[in-house]
Amino acid sequence: MPKYKQVDVFSDTPYLGNPVAVIYDADSLSTSQMQKIANWTNLSETTFVCKPTTPEADYKLRIFTPGTELPFAGHPTIGTAHALIEDKLIKPKSGIVVQECGAGLIDIEVIDGTLYFTAPEYKFFNLDSSSITKSFGKKVINKPVKSDTGPYFAIFQFESPEDLLNINIDLPLIEKFSKENSLTGVGLFAEYNDGNLETRLIAPLVGVNEDPATGSLSGALGHYLKQTFDINQGRKVKRDCKIKVKYEDGKVKVGGNAITCFDGLYNS
């Protein structure tokens, strides 16, 4: 029977990170089977490890939410790399492994035991958010934008982390707004006095009411703010995720720790 792992990402403490289910030897599974498994695990993402189709890559990854397939996502990228390195199925070359996915080739770097992926280039677009901004019940202080790196996020900034943690979340309205604007989800953030961030990701359209930690959103914020910072995420869903974002020479690296919580087999 094929191997299965569940890895907590952006934490070194079991059950406080963002879990990802990692399904090994998945080439024989159809897309509909993968989606069915992802719906059953009911995690924000489930990954399926396949053989690479290009010699530059160490493996190919397909990433599914309970409702759809994604071209790229951050915490599944880190969690899968952690699992494969831990099982000695891949070995970093000069500290780097290369993941093939829908967004292309993603470099994952091991620095002092922490895994970092190089965030894809992001594009930002103007966004009419008038239908949703007032529903939060707290002041939005930026002009919301839409980010594009495979996943599409609307990005809203609030005055304080306290405000962010106490906004109103209207899931049907956010789902409608996401559908109308072709969004994966709505990314929300606020800045602490030291420049670090508190973030939230609400994505009901893809079956994720609130994500405990979102690496792809963190990468988008690195490009959006053009600075280095640490992120706290997941407090409203009883998690304590820590994400590191490094901005240098126009490039963004997103990193964090990971720990395996479950290790077993699955019935395909």
Alpha carbon of 39 to those of 2, 42, 155: distances in Å? Answer: 19, 5, 27
- Counting beta carbons within 10 angstroms of the beta carbon of residue 63, is it exposed (0 to 12), middle (13 to 18) or buried (19 or more)? buried
Active-site residue, 248 included: no
The residue from 45, 175, 198, 210 that is catalytic is: 45
Q: For the chain, list the strands marked E by DSSP.
A: 3-9, 18-23, 45-50, 59-64, 69-70, 96-101, 104-111, 114-118, 123-126, 145-148, 152-157, 185-191, 197-203, 208-211, 229-233, 241-248, 251-256, 258-265
- Nearest to 239, CA basis, from 47, 13, 5, 73: 13
Question: What span, in angstroms and rounded, lies between the C-alpha atoms of 98 and 81?
Answer: 9
- Site of tokens 């690496």: 215
- Counting beta carbons within 10 angstroms of the beta carbon of residue 194, is it exposed (0 to 12), middle (13 to 18) or buried (19 or more)? exposed
Kindly write down the DSSP assignment for every residue of 209-255, as one continuous string. Answer: EEES--HHHHHHHHHHHTS-EEEEE-GGGT--EEEEEEEETTEEEEE
Q: Is residue 66 a contact partner of residue 77, using CB atoms and an 8 Å limit? A: no
- Residues with catalytic roles: 45
